[in-house]
Structures are given as structure tokens and as C-alpha cells.
């Protein structure tokens, strides 16, 4: 039904989310960080919504959101759902200017609820003050990258 | 450090002793000076002046008598008058001398002066009474006069010399005291200077050491806080995502198990989901507790009104589900204030208290949790009152310790909620506490300083 882009550095979570949403009939793509996410946006037609994690290496959630916003290519109109364990999630959501956010771990119901709201309302993010990047590249290595 | 302190005390004692000794020396010199001054001003000097005066009158008298004899002054009343006046002046000046304080050594000298004076008076009386006679008798008369007057003059001079000598002795005494005291004073001053120098050096060293220690401990605390922050952030990142993955997977599995024979597996999945929720809450509580110890961000501020409204909105449904009425008491001044912490901290503290109140509301008839705020000088006090069973006084302090559980130990949770509130609030310069409510229930409160 909808075209969804998931951006999260946790491979297992990204894949599981994709599995669940695909099972519900959506078209799902997964990116591992903000940089990959931006590339994915350029690949084909824009997704209907982006499910975005906050703390990721290379380029974090808010970083990607601001990049989407800067270039006047239509990307700035894509609604963003922030799903994160980041302590200041609410503050970050306000800064990015998106009304769709939930702390990890959130239930499937919560996620689906946010998804339907976002697809219905289509409220795009509207960043206010300069967004302080939460990515601490050197310190944050995604645990999944160290696969056995 | 200990020995430094001893040295410091010793140095200060030396300085004090030096001050006392200086005072003693000063007093001694001052006394000596005063005694000498008295001797000179009250005795020696006036004595010399009086005797000097007497000598002058004596010479005047001698001159007058000589002139009379020679014929320059007449034997008339005028002549007599001037002689009498001069004699009176002489008497007066010697009386003045006699009236002054007498030094023991002066006694014989005074006696001599008195005797000489009587002799002079006798001779002068005789001379005045006798009419001019023969040249020989005149010469004899004059010789007697000269002798008597010379003797008196000499005695007066000796007495004067004696007083002058007294004065000299007094001055020498003062000089003597100064001379002996001077080296002593020099030593005292030198010691005091050294002691002052030592005190300064030791105090400076002590202060520097204290500063270094404080800086080190402060740095250690900062490091610890930073490590904790990092730890909490890593845990958040590395635990919460996997938790969500497991939770989603379980949910997915549960939704697929629709066949009747899947009933037991469905049960297992349900239990797994419930357990996962419990784990999620534990992790959340732990993280919050860990973060609560973080150093406050300088300059942060939060509006009390906003926090109260957000919590009322967020926890309203939860309260409703638990059959509890959650109400916010009417606005008072406290609502309009800002406190010196980040909004997250204020919201977290309030949220913990309200959730705690809802959880332990008990089984009474009235199930109500009220939030109110009060303006206090320099701070805002936030209170959460419940109509629960209340907290016995003995338990009140313990409640805010980590892992403390209330009476109803069956209620789920790690027991970190109140400890988290205390940590959050106290690290921002505030206080927490619990009191009994009027009637049934408790009032949990915290206060935070108002933002500048």
C-alpha cells in the first residue's frame, strides 16, 4: 500500500520492521545510516514516509532530516517518524519539527498507529533551531557491524 | 599536612608573642620617659629657672647697694624703695625655689642657701641702718656685703648645678633604657617578621594544596558523571533496539498463531511479551536512574506550567485505566515560574511522583491524585497528593533510597522511581520529601530553585 523507507543502524530491528510492514502489504526499503538513507531517497520515487532512528554512525537521524529539508527537491515534504531510545527524543522531535515519534521499544500497535497518522496527515518536518547532531561517530559503532 | 599545620600555629604564636613583647618594651620605654620628663619638667627645670632668677636679683641688689655707697643712688625714700623691692624679689625667687619638689641630695644645699640668705639679709640691714661713716668702716661694710653676697651667689650656683645634674641624669636614664631595649626590639621585630613570612608561606601552600585537591576531586566527579552519561547512552542504544526487535518478532509470531492447536504457544508468546514489557520497564527505570546523576546543564530552565500540563496529558489515560482521578489544582503563582533545570528533568521528576502515586493508590473509596505547585522564596515546590494508605513516619526516609519498595511489595518495579526523583532534584540544588496529607494519604513533594 505505502512506500516506506526505514533508516536504522540496528540490522535486526530494521529487517524485522521491514518484515512486519511488508507482511501488512507495504513496500519497504531499509538503510543503515543517514547517508545511505539519503542515497536511497535518490534511487527512485520518493517514499511516502521515512521511519528514522536518531543515533546512527556516519549521519544521524536529525542530520538526515535537515539534509532532506535543505534541498528543494520535494524530499522536504516526506513525513518522518522518529523511533529511538535517545533520551531527549521529545526535544529532538520538536527540533526536527515532526509530530510523529515514539521511544524504543515501542509496540507494534503504537508504530502502526503513527504510520497511519503520518500517511493520512502527511505533515512534513519543519526544523526550527539548528539541530545539534547527536552522532558521535567515533564512539558509536553499531553492535551489528561486528558480526561473528 | 599535619606538620604544616603545627608550623603554622607555631609561627602565629611567635607573631603574637612578638606583638606582646613589643608592647611590653614600648610600655617600659614610655614609663622611663615619663619618669624622666616628670623629673625635668616638674623639678629640675623650674629649679634652675628659680635659682637663675635669684642669682639675677642678688646681683641687682649688690649693684644697687654699690651705687648707693658710691652716691649714684640717694639715701632717700626712692632709693630705699628700689632696694626694698629688689630684696623682696630676691626673697620671692628663693621662696619659689624652696617650694619646688626637693630631691634628697638637695637638702644640704637648700640649708646652705637659707643660711647664706639670712647672712645677706643681716648685712644688708646693717648697711642700710648705718649712716655713712669713715672710709675704713665703709670699706669694712662693703667687704662684709661682698662676702655675704658672694657666698649666697655660690650656694645658689651650686644648687642650680645640682638640679642641672639631676636633669642630665634623668636624660641619661632614658637613653640608657632605649639603648638596652634597642637590640631587644630588633630581635623581637626580626622574629616577628620571620614568623609572618613563615605564616604567609605556609598558608599559601595550604591553600594551593586545598585548591589542587578540590580541582582533582571535581575533575574526578566530572569524569564519573561523563562516564555514566556515556554508559547510559550506550546501554540505551545497544539494549533498547534489540528489545524492540524481540518484541516485534514475538508480536508477529503471536499474530500468526491463529489455529486452535496453537493455543498454548500463543499463551507462551503472550507471557513472553508481558515479560519483555517488564524488562523494558526495568531498563527504562535503570537508565533514568543512571541519567539522573548527570551534572545539570548550566543555564537550563523549564516552565513548571508546561511540565504539569504535559504530565497531566500523558498520564491522564494511565490514571483512567487504573481507575484513578488525576487532577491539577487551580493555577497559583508557582505555575508561572521557571525552574533551573532542563524540561526533561522536571517532567521526569513529576512523572515519577505521579506514576508512583497512581501505583500505590490502594483500595480506598476515594482514588484521587492531585498535582499542585507553590511559589516559595527562590524556589518552586511541586506537590503530588494521593488518597492512598499513606506512609508510616518510620518508613519515610527509606522511601527515597534506591531499591526501596513500599508496603505493597507485590507491585512491580525495581523501586528506583523515588530514588531517581531524589537524584534528579538534588543534583539541581533542590529537595524532596514526603508528608502525611490532611486526612488519608500522602503528599510527595520536591522543590527546585527558580531559574535566574
Residues of A in contact with B280 (CB under 8 A): 105
For residue B443, the surrounding DSSP H or E stretch is strand B442-449
Mean pLDDT to the nearest integer, B241-253: 90
CA distance B305 to A128: 23
Q: How sure is the predictor about A148, in pLDDT bands with cuts at 50, 70 and 90?
A: very low
Q: How far apart are CA B251 and CA B267, in angstroms?
A: 12
pLDDT in tens, B330-377: 766 555 688 888 888 898 899 999 999 998 888 888 899 999 998 888
Summarize pLDDT for B144-197 with one digit per residue, the tens. Answer: 889 999 999 999 999 999 999 988 888 888 888 778 888 888 888 898 899 999
Residues on chain B touching A140 (C-beta within 8 angstroms): 237
For chains A and B, CB pairs below 8 A equal: 65
CA distance B319 to B357: 10
Q: Are B374 and B349 in contact (CB under 8 A)?
A: no
**How many CB atoms neighbour CB B62 within 10 A?**
20
CB contact under 8 A, B245 and A139: no
Q: How confident is the model at residue A145 (pLDDT cuts 50, 70, 90)?
A: very low
User: Residue A131: is its pLDDT beyond 60?
Assistant: no
Regarding predicted confidence, which is higher, B72 or B17?
B17
CA atoms within 13 A on the CB side of B388: 26
Q: Which secondary-structure segment (H or E) carries B100? A: none
Quote the pLDDT of residue B333. 55
**pLDDT for the residue B335:** 58
Give the up-direction half-sphere exposure of residue B360: CA atoms within 13 A in the CB hemisphere. 27
Closest Cβ opposite residue B245 in set A16, A87, A140 = A16
Tell me the CA distances in angstroms from A26 to A49, B143, B209, one per residue in order.
Answer: 11, 160, 68
Closest to B122 measured CA to CA, from B95, B149, B161: B149
Grid cell digits, residue B304: 513548571
Neighbours of B145 (CB within 10 A): 20
Say how many residues make up chain B.
Answer: 452
Alpha-helical segments (H) within A104-146 = 108-121
- In this predicted structure, what is the pLDDT of residue B140? 87
Mean pLDDT throughout A11-32?
Answer: 94
- B236, B247, B251 ranked by CB distance to A85: nearest: B236
Cell representation of residue B300: 537550563
Cell of A84: 529511538
Give burial (CB, 10 Å; 0-12/13-18/19+) of B383: buried
Mutate to test the interface with A, among B241, B252, B275 (most CBs of A within 10 A): B241
**Strands of the sheet with B325-328, listed across from one edge:** B325-328, B368-376, B379-386, B442-449, B431-436
ipTM (interface pTM)? 0.83
Contact yes or no for B244 and A91 at CB 8 A: no
Closest CA to A88 of B203, B261, B97, B297: B297
CA distance A19 to chain B (A): 9
Residue A29 has pLDDT above 90, yes or no: yes
- How far apart are the C-alpha atoms of A83 and B245, rounded to whole Å? 12
Surface of A (61-120) touching B: CB under 8 A: 83, 85-88, 90-91, 103-108
What is the Cα–Cα distance from A74 to A77, expressed in whole angstroms? 6
Q: In the structure grid, which three cell numbers stand for residue B406, read together?
A: 513500599
Average pLDDT along chain B: 86
Report the sign of the C-alpha dihedral through residues B23, B26, B30, B31, in that order.
positive
Residue B54: the pLDDT is: 92
E strands, chain A, in order: 3-7, 27-31, 49-52, 80-84, 100-103
CB A119 within 8 A of CB A43: no
Whether B102 contacts B50, CB under 8 Å: no
**Of B203 and B75, which is predicted with more confidence?**
B203
Is A16–B239 a contact, with Cβ atoms under 8 angstroms apart?
no
Cell 648705718, residue located:
B130
Q: What is the pLDDT of residues B35-60, one digit of tens each?
A: 888 888 888 889 999 999 999 999 99
Q: Are strands B368-376 and B431-436 parallel, antiparallel or unpaired?
A: unpaired
Average pLDDT estimate for A24-40: 93
Specify the pTM.
Answer: 0.54
- A54, pLDDT greater than 90: yes
What is the spatial distance between Cα B252 and Cα A67, in angstroms, rounded to a whole number?
Answer: 34
> Do B244 and A106 make contact, defined as CB atoms within 8 angstroms?
yes
- Residue A58 φ then ψ, to 5°: 65, -70
Asked if A6 contacts A17 with a C-beta cutoff of 8 angstroms, the reply is: yes
Alpha helices in B100-134 (DSSP H): 107-129
Q: B62 pLDDT exceeds 60?
A: yes
**A61, A83, A78: which is closest to A140 by C-alpha?**
A61
Prior bond of A105 cis (ω within 30°) = yes
Q: How far is CA B316 from CA A109, B354, B355, B357, B377, in A?
A: 19, 10, 10, 13, 31
Residue A122: CB atoms within 10 A of its CB come to 12
Amino acid at each position: 500500500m505505502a512506500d516506506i523507507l526505514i533508516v536504522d543502524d540496528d540490522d535486526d530491528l530494521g529487517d524485522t520492521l521491514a518484515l512486519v510492514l511488508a507482511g501488512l502489504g507495504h513496500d519497504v526499503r531499509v538503510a543503515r545510516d543517514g547517508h545511505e538513507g539519503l542515497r536511497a531517497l535518490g534511487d527512485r520515487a520518493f517514499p511516502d514516509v521515512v521511519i528514522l532512528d536518531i543515533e546512527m554512525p556516519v549521519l544521524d537521524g536529525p542530520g538526515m532530516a535537515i539534509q532532506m529539508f535543505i534541498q528543494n527537491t520535494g524530499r522536504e515534504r516526506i513525513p518522518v517518524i522518529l523511533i529511538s531510545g535517545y533520551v531527549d527524543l521529545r526535544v529532538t522531535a520538536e527540533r526536527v519539527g515532526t509530530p510523529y515519534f515514539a521511544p524504543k521499544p515501542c509496540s507494534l500497535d503504537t508504530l502502526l498507529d503513527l504510520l497511519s497518522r503520518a500517511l493520512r496527515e502527511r505533515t512534513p518536518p519543519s526544523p526550527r533551531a539548528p539541530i545539534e547532531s547527536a552522532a558521535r561517530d567515533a564512539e558509536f559503532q553499531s553492535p551489528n557491524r561486528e558480526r561473528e | 599536612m599535619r606538620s604544616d599545620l603545627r608550623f603554622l600555629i607555631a609561627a602565629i604564636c611567635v607573631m603574637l608573642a612578638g606583638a606582646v613583647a613589643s608592647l611590653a618594651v614600648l610600655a617600659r620605654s614610655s614609663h622611663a620617659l615619663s619618669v624622666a620628663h616628670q623629673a625635668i619638667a616638674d623639678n629640675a627645670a623650674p629649679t634652675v629657672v628659680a635659682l637663675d632668677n635669684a642669682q639675677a636679683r642678688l646681683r641687682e641688689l649688690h649693684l644697687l647697694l654699690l651705687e648707693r655707697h658710691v652716691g649714684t643712688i640717694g639715701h632717700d625714700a626712692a632709693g630705699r624703695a628700689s632696694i626694698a623691692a629688689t630684696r623682696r624679689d630676691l626673697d620671692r625667687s628663693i621662696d619659689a625655689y624652696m617650694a619646688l619638689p626637693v630631691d634628697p641630695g638637695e637638702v644640704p644645699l637648700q640649708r646652705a642657701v637659707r643660711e647664706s640668705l639670712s647672712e645677706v639679709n643681716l648685712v644688708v640691714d646693717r648697711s642700710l641702718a648705718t649712716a655713712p661713716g669713715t672710709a675704713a668702716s665703709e670699706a669694712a661694710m662693703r667687704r662684709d656685703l661682698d662676702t655675704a653676697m658672694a657666698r649666697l651667689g655660690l650656694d645658689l650656683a651650686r644648687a642650680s648645678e645640682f638640679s642641672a645634674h639631676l636633669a642630665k641624669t634623668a636624660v641619661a636614664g632614658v637613653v640608657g633604657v632605649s639603648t638596652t631595649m634597642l637590640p631587644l626590639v630588633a630581635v623581637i621585630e626580626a622574629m616577628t617578621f620571620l614568623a609572618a613570612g613563615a605564616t604567609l608561606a605556609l598558608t599559601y601552600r595550604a591553600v594551593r594544596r586545598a585548591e589542587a585537591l578540590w580541582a582533582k576531586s571535581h575533575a574526578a566527579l566530572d569524569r564519573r558523571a561523563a562516564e555514566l552519561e556515556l554508559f547510559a547512552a550506550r546501554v540505551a542504544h545497544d539494549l533498547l533496539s534489540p528489545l524492540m526487535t524481540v518484541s516485534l518478532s514475538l508480536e508477529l509470531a503471536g499474530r500468526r498463531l491463529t489455529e486452535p492447536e496453537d493455543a498454548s504457544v500463543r499463551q507462551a508468546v503472550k507471557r513472553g511479551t508481558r515479560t519483555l514489557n517488564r524488562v523494558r520497564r526495568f531498563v527504562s527505570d535503570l537508565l533514568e536512574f543512571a541519567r539522573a546523576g548527570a551534572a545539570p546543564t548550566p543555564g537550563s530552565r523549564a516552565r513548571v506550567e508546561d511540565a504539569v500540563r504535559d504530565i497531566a496529558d500523558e498520564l491522564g489515560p494511565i490514571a483512567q485505566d487504573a481507575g484513578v482521578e488525576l487532577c491539577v489544582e487551580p493555577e497559583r503563582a508557582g505555575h508561572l515560574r521557571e525552574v533551573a533545570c532542563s524540561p526533561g528533568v522536571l517532567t521526569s521528576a513529576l512523572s515519577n511522583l505521579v506514576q508512583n502515586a497512581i501505583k500505590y493508590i490502594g483500595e480506598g473509596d476515594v482514588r484521587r491524585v492531585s498535582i499542585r505547585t507553590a511559589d516559595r522564596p527562590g524556589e518552586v515546590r511541586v506537590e503530588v497528593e494521593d488518597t492512598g494508605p499513606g506512609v508510616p513516619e518510620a518508613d519515610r526516609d527509606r522511601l527515597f533510597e534506591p531499591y526501596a519498595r513500599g508496603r505493597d511489595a507485590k507491585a512491580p518495579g525495581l523501586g528506583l522511581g523515588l530514588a531517581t526523583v531524589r537524584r534528579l532534584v538534588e543534583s539541581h540544588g533542590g529537595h524532596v520529601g514526603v508528608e502525611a496529607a490532611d486526612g488519608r494519604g500522602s503528599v510527595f513533594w520536591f522543590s527546585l530553585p527558580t531559574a535566574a
